[in-house]
Amino acid sequence: MHSRTKVALERARIELLVRDVLGSRNAVRSVQELTDGMFNAAYALELEGAEPVVLKVAPPPDLPLLTYEKELMRTEVEFYERVAKETTCSVPRVLAHDFSHTRIGRDVFFMRRLRGTSLDKAKKQLTPEELARIQTELGEWVGRLGSVRGSFFGYLQAGVGLQAGTWREAFLAMVEALIQDAERFAVRLPLPARELLALFHSGAAVLDQVEEPVLTHFDLWEGNVFVHRVDGAARIEAIIDGERAFWGDPLAELVSTALFRDAEKEADFLRGYQAATGAPLVFTEEVRHRLNLYRAYLCLIMLIEGVPRGYTGLKAMAIRQYCRMKLRGELKLLAARGRA
């Protein structure tokens, strides 16, 4: 699928950014577009006499986007810098960035290129034992991310206006903005906007259990976990694409680490999480309710984002149908909890 947000950059402008933003006089030997991501344009660059780098280029600022997607690249850079500074988790090293729009009118940043492969591609070459070890390691990393704290709840970008002093207030604002986006882009949802909002509001008191804003990636599916062999052993090299991060409930990570699976059955992951946090994650009714809210929110994002991005074709249709089905299931659970 192609996304309208991935607006290509010609080689001459890439070379300009290498010189003026990266500050390198090394000649650009090769440029390879990276096609896995679905929001920013990205290029793997080989430079003469220098380490390989990746250039990421945000969409033009006048392109219609979801509310939370504005200035997403700035969140990604801040996520990498905070995680690198405050945890032992590995992320791509940010080499340079420019958010001034004075060069090409778009946000850009350079990062060191990783050596490994995303887990969704690498897992076919991994043994069951290696996969289990990587899931345990991922649980440990997610547990460590919980040590990065913020001063407010909500999305990191100040410009989107989705920040608040409590997690309940921030999360409901995030949901409301997303439903307004659906109306703006004429996306058909399973329920009218008012009924959808009522379902989220009806159980929102459970969010008051979250008292400290924790840096939450919220997109740690297998495509954003890079693995690499070190001395023959497959290990996590880094986690990538932190642009969807927010200050919120670290429990929300389980929605993407166990994407469309039952997080309670992810024994290897939960073992690592306990090792990092010092306590087992107990799936109380309140915990399940919070996960229900976060799964519904992610399903909404995945259902809505394809319209402004211009996804077409059979694959896009299949994704929309699947997300709509999963969203209906999550909404039914929320409704049942509201009646209990």
Say if 97 falls within a structural domain. yes
Co-location of 108 and 135 in the same domain: no
Closest C-alpha among 195, 189, 191, 157 to residue 174: 157
Co-location of 259 and 320 in the same domain: yes
Co-location of 267 and 305 in the same domain: yes
Co-location of 172 and 289 in the same domain: yes
CATH number for position 81: 3.30.200.20
Are 14 and 28 a contacting pair, CB within 8 Å?
yes
Which of 81, 112, 143 terminates a domain? The answer is: 112
Co-location of 29 and 160 in the same domain: no
Which of 112, 136, 153 terminates a domain? The answer is: 112
The total number of structural domains in the chain stands at: 2
Say if 5 falls within a structural domain. no
Residue 112 DSSP label: E
pLDDT tens, 218-258? Answer: 999 999 999 999 999 999 999 999 999 999 999 999 999 99
Whole-number Å distance between alpha carbons of 249 and 219: 14
Q: What angle do CA 268, 269, 270 make, to 5 degrees?
A: 95
Element (H, E) at 167: helix 167-184
Provide the domain limits for residue 59.
Answer: 11-112
Say if 1 falls within a structural domain. no
Whole-number Å distance between alpha carbons of 288 and 51: 45
Co-location of 140 and 229 in the same domain: yes
Say if 6 falls within a structural domain. no
Co-location of 192 and 288 in the same domain: yes
**For position 238, what pLDDT does the model report?**
99
Say if 305 falls within a structural domain. yes
* Rounded CA Rg of the chain: 20
Which of 88, 112, 136 terminates a domain? The answer is: 112
Co-location of 58 and 157 in the same domain: no
Co-location of 89 and 56 in the same domain: yes
Whole-number Å distance between alpha carbons of 83 and 187: 35
Whole-number Å distance between alpha carbons of 337 and 199: 9
From first to last of the 340 residues of the chain, give the pLDDT tens digit.
789 999 999 999 999 999 999 999 999 999 999 999 899 999 999 999 999 999 999 999 999 999 999 999 999 999 999 999 999 999 999 999 999 999 999 999 999 999 999 999 999 999 999 999 999 999 999 999 999 999 999 999 999 999 999 999 999 999 999 999 999 999 999 999 999 999 999 999 999 999 999 999 999 999 999 999 999 999 999 999 999 999 999 999 999 999 999 999 999 999 999 999 999 999 999 999 999 999 999 999 999 999 999 999 998 899 999 999 999 999 999 999 988 6
Whole-number Å distance between alpha carbons of 326 and 323: 5
Co-location of 202 and 144 in the same domain: yes
Say if 3 falls within a structural domain. no
b/e map 241-252, b = 16+ CB within 10 Å: bbbbbbbbbbbb
Say if 331 falls within a structural domain. yes
Co-location of 312 and 211 in the same domain: yes
Co-location of 74 and 135 in the same domain: no
